[in-house]
Amino acid sequence: MKQTRVLMGMPITVEIVDAKATAATFDTVFEYFRYVDETFSTYKDTSEITAINKGVLPQEKWSADMKLIFALAEKTRVETNGFFDIRTAGDRYDPSGIVKGWAIWKAAEILKNDGFENFYIDAGGDIQPHGLNAKRKKWAVGIKNPWNEQENVKIVHVTTEGVATSGTYIRGHHIYDPKHGNRPVDEIVSLTVIGPNIYEADRFATAAFAMGREAINFIEHLDGFEGYMIDKEKTATLTSGFERYTIPGIKK
């Protein structure tokens, strides 16, 4: 079974191979994403993060999930030498760079805890698979050509690893370099990161993209991660272990 719904401002697709999946299973997963949106969306006047940014919700009244996200964001800021920072102009906070991957990962945990073994969740191009697809093979994830979204420049094959892509070719410039006056990053157009899960892959993809051309070197030195970067000159650079996720003989 497979369903796609628009939540958090993007299409979210859930496919479950296991036969015991029901409509209620999908409702549970999508309801979780709705909760995340209602809590963390900076575009909703009623969200918890909006109340924090307005200064009307003191820290002692923050939800447990909000406190966790702020802690994870600070951990990521330290681990990336300041290239990941949820603080924006005017002492406001925008945790979207860490919330999406975390939400996908938590939604996958819901399915795993309910006994599902073979599924994937795709939220805006960031993907968390688990197990095998309907053909009993690894899940195939395409990396789009930034200049032709109908074409995949690479296809990677994963079972439990998360695959996250940061780029400017769909949403324009939305990632900025916090260490150099929040300048827009224009040296690279796409960075795909494969990590142990989508939370880890997504947070480091966002942070590394802000580094510009140094992004791929940063990913290269992260244990357990691989990356594929495309710069504005249409040149691809990949980490030393990336090709183990591609299968020879399959059209890239």
User: The whole model's pTM is what?
Assistant: 0.92
Q: Which domain holds residue 134?
A: 2-245
Residue 161 lies in a domain: yes
| pLDDT given for residue 114 in this prediction | 97
Residue 35 lies in a domain: yes
| pLDDT given for residue 177 in this prediction | 59
How far is 12 from 237, CA to CA, in rounded Å? 29
Residue 251 lies in a domain: no
The CATH number for 197's domain is 3.10.520.10
Residue pLDDT tens, the chain, 252 long: 999 999 999 999 999 999 999 999 999 999 999 999 999 999 999 999 999 999 999 999 999 999 999 999 999 999 999 999 999 877 899 999 999 999 999 999 999 999 999 999 999 999 999 999 999 999 999 999 999 988 999 999 999 999 999 986 555 445 655 655 566 667 899 999 999 999 999 999 999 999 999 999 999 999 999 999 999 999 999 999 999 999 764 443
Residue 111 lies in a domain: yes
Looking at the structure of the chain, the number of domains it has is 1
